[in-house]
Structure 1
């Protein structure tokens, strides 16, 4: 990797400034033209799209926190805010100039929700005058660089998680995050060090110190392992460059995000037993033996939390309500993962979105099966199911992630959806879960109708569209004459096994073109379904939630 010197950084900064000024000038000219023509279509669009979000306050029971935890929590939130700033630099670094050029307050609000001028829940449609389509390259790669150019280059870190690709003297180079974002990462690191000094929990202290070091070195493995070792902590923070969704070109580079969490210790105790069952469930997967030889790690935890702060990537687009980390396949196989259920955010989505959707689109006779416990279990086992299946291809193409590149995330989310349902089915049969299978299947169906509304730009949206279309072809549900959906419970189970087999096979083969073709064939919303989804919008049923959050919302000021 070539050294990225101060001159290069200055050149990059000047280039960005020119880009910002050019963009702003273009926006202003287009805005003036739009005003002269009396066109208010974009303003109308924004006005309508703002209504798809329901605001939710993120709170928790502060009385359950110790004295030291009350001191630590504000520091964690401050560190999370820095991840938000860093994600803006990754998603749309011209934020301030864009906001200054916009006069309409609602458009400004919508820009803030979307971390830029593209509607994340509508295929990244631009909604600001003068803004073109969102590029695949984003800020991770030079404008105009093709996949082939990078693949054929001699850049050592060409698909690195924690670097960007830039051009210097007509050559592609790799620049580490800890270099290009040094100032912000040092501030975040210092806040985590301060929190470590204040916490009474030894394992949390160790993690905070190691994570602080990781932020300024891009070496995250030690902190990931320390995070998995934590057992007694009441607070938690997930922080750093983590998920790959924002990199649309290769799905390789990680985006900054943070969750600040307060553990629900009672719920966590109830969930602890399920991870130990992964090896047995792996052996029973509905796929050929060669695709399920790997043994899932079981030294991990399944916990429930109140989330009190979202920042960066996880706060953009559809809001995450459960987390399965670390993403490092080596750590997953060696030690497992931690599955974090964000219970208060999950309850908000169930109450504000899923229940109203079910009342409109689920057959009247089956609406009685829509239950929060089933929703919680379906989401929870989605995260657990990331640990099932296959991590390394059977065709010598390396890991599934490296083989599938930009096609990896959506298929992996689809795998977790369907194997999560497989787990629910198996655990009910074993008596390890209580309830009626009809509740889990019907609530899953309502969940599909909720998640396909996230659109084609979302990995989760593509995964749910694939599942919907596959289940429809298999007769797992019918659309009634009244325009509602009725589950066929027997065929639902058959379709579940069939789709699970298909996805694991695609992953194990590591055939990127086959996965891309599957996405093009199944990851689409047909006109009939779109008309039904439009009914939800006309009824004013929100698509997703946005948060009122921070120390003032928590009452800590």
Structure 2
């Protein structure tokens, strides 16, 4: 596949030169391009993987329903282009070959795996607020503006004719796309044989039209026995690096793996006990996680929008609404086929390059699956509201909230695994989970500072390094886990993150990100080794109705 991708990329590189184009609000448009070979190398950071599943298990109506969901998902893709960049057609019409391919992967001209640096000459820095805000906005102006709903997850900030800021609801700003997607969900609801799915699709269509998502989130939580599933709408706020206020549109179309899901069902029942045992003062764990949540495995058939931009999501923990989480918990969806693709194509080669030979046997798919799964479960632990009346953790930590939350989930996921292994509720030995966890840091840290997950991994790597949780052989350059120190570091970092969140300590989190959220020269050399071995950073999906043969 890599050879095919290389030939394809080189062929595209021979295509015509691009021309200059104008600019518009919230959009940086290209003038000229850098060396074609550099762009070709960037495209080669991604390997291809086809998204499919065993369709023979589906009924005729389910097969008829899937294309409607995929069409609705594609609309989320178009909306996210507008949120992340602006005018997709204007950009892509001026590009060709690998530049065009890489812009499509990144949803714009900024490299998400390289701290959002522009990869096309003449393009300025990516606005921290993406295209949710006017490009010339400042924090001082925004904070001083007396604008209703300016901090809402579901509004776009624009200037009126007098140049003053205004907040426009998503369902108005994206009215054409939203109504088309909602109509498709209504059509799908008519075909749904499962009552829970039918109800959710109907309520989700209404939510898209009104920006009121609570009822549809609650309905999504109530679905337990549906095989077809879809996650769709404005969900994560990673793209807004100005405040972390604005939710991005995305979609996943999914088919549940019933056999794997049955194995996983028991683990959420342990959440209250695990919450009580967290290694932090009682005041930082006073909330009780919901136990109505469930844990399931899926084959994902389609990615769109935010979740498809550059590095691909391999597990989902939703809804994000704190009210839903406290009432019902969350649902954790493990995307098994996408996870397997990343393990085979990326994780295993990384382990063979950077992990000590006698510890490589401890890098396993089962441990990778569990580490990823309990990352999502761990989002339900800890605290959602600050202990000192600063509001929710997300509100208090602003643009740093997502990175710290991802760091919390990673570290508490390993804490949970240790607790469950000791209780005899989870198979395997901690050496597998710890070694796979270290290899996983090398995988995710390559996403760079533009990703909340990447920042979280850098913090964890640097913290563990300072703690002595692993060491690097100066002769071989290979990493070895110190299993005793790793266990101590997990508890120490867990306490630190939970305390920062509970206190709503914005300055403390900013300091942590500044000191430990960066890739040092030594680590960069090791990451360069992975590039020299042509180990992909991530995958792009061959997906859609035709890929499924529908």
TM-score normalized by the length of structure 1: 0.93
Describe the superposition over 1:313-344 as per-residue Cα deviations: whole angstroms up to 9, x where unpaired.
Answer: 00002110000000001110111000000000
Once the two structures are TM-superposed, the CA of residue 143 in structure 1 deviates from its matched residue by: 2.1
Q: Which whole-Å CA distance do the structure 2 matches of 1:52 and 1:23 have between them?
A: 26
Residue 237 of structure 1 pairs with residue 230 of structure 2: yes
Partner of 2:540: 546
Candidates 277, 281, 285, aligned match of 1:292: 285
Partner of 2:240: 247
Once the two structures are TM-superposed, the CA of residue 139 in structure 1 deviates from its matched residue by: 1.3
Q: Is the Cα contact below 8 Å between 2:385 and 2:393 reproduced in 1?
A: yes
Q: Is the Cα contact below 8 Å between 1:124 and 1:134 reproduced in 2?
A: yes
Give the match's secondary structure for 1:240.
strand
Written as runs of structure 1 = structure 2, the 5 A alignment for 1:158-557 is 158-168=150-160, 169-480=162-473, 481-556=475-550
Once the two structures are TM-superposed, the CA of residue 127 in structure 1 deviates from its matched residue by: 0.9
Once the two structures are TM-superposed, the CA of residue 137 in structure 1 deviates from its matched residue by: 2.6
Q: Which whole-Å CA distance do the structure 2 matches of 1:354 and 1:528 have between them?
A: 20
Q: Which whole-Å CA distance do the structure 2 matches of 1:307 and 1:42 have between them?
A: 36
Q: Is the Cα contact below 8 Å between 2:371 and 2:437 reproduced in 1?
A: yes
Once the two structures are TM-superposed, the CA of residue 206 in structure 1 deviates from its matched residue by: 0.2
Q: Which whole-Å CA distance do the structure 1 matches of 2:340 and 2:26 have between them?
A: 44
Describe the superposition over 1:351-385 as per-residue Cα deviations: whole angstroms up to 9, x where unpaired.
Answer: 00000000000000000111111000000000000
Residue 125 of structure 1 pairs with residue 129 of structure 2: no
Describe the superposition over 1:42-65 as per-residue Cα deviations: whole angstroms up to 9, x where unpaired.
Answer: 422211111110100000000111
Residue 19 of structure 1 pairs with residue 23 of structure 2: yes
Once the two structures are TM-superposed, the CA of residue 129 in structure 1 deviates from its matched residue by: 2.0
Give the match's secondary structure for 2:122.
coil
Describe the superposition over 1:78-112 as per-residue Cα deviations: whole angstroms up to 9, x where unpaired.
Answer: 1000000111111122221222222x411110110
Q: How many residues align?
A: 528
Give the match's secondary structure for 1:186.
helix
Q: Which whole-Å CA distance do the structure 2 matches of 1:145 and 1:392 have between them?
A: 29
Q: Which whole-Å CA distance do the structure 2 matches of 1:82 and 1:266 have between them?
A: 32
Partner of 1:62: 55
Change (3 A) 1:43 1:22: farther
Describe the superposition over 1:161-191 as per-residue Cα deviations: whole angstroms up to 9, x where unpaired.
Answer: 0001111123211100000101111000010
Q: Which runs of 5+ in 2 are unaligned?
A: 1-20
Q: Is the Cα contact below 8 Å between 1:20 and 1:97 reproduced in 2?
A: no
Once the two structures are TM-superposed, the CA of residue 427 in structure 1 deviates from its matched residue by: 0.2
Q: Is the Cα contact below 8 Å between 2:218 and 2:324 reproduced in 1?
A: yes
TM-score normalized by the length of structure 2: 0.94
Once the two structures are TM-superposed, the CA of residue 247 in structure 1 deviates from its matched residue by: 0.7
Once the two structures are TM-superposed, the CA of residue 21 in structure 1 deviates from its matched residue by: 10
Q: Which whole-Å CA distance do the structure 2 matches of 1:409 and 1:322 have between them?
A: 16
Candidates 109, 133, 137, aligned match of 1:141: 133
Residue 95 of structure 1 pairs with residue 85 of structure 2: no
**RMSD value, Cα:** 1.4
Change (3 A) 1:58 1:387: same
Q: Which whole-Å CA distance do the structure 2 matches of 1:490 and 1:21 have between them?
A: 54
Q: Which whole-Å CA distance do the structure 1 matches of 2:517 and 2:321 have between them?
A: 26
Give the match's secondary structure for 1:216.
helix
Q: Which whole-Å CA distance do the structure 2 matches of 1:163 and 1:21 have between them?
A: 17
Once the two structures are TM-superposed, the CA of residue 217 in structure 1 deviates from its matched residue by: 0.5
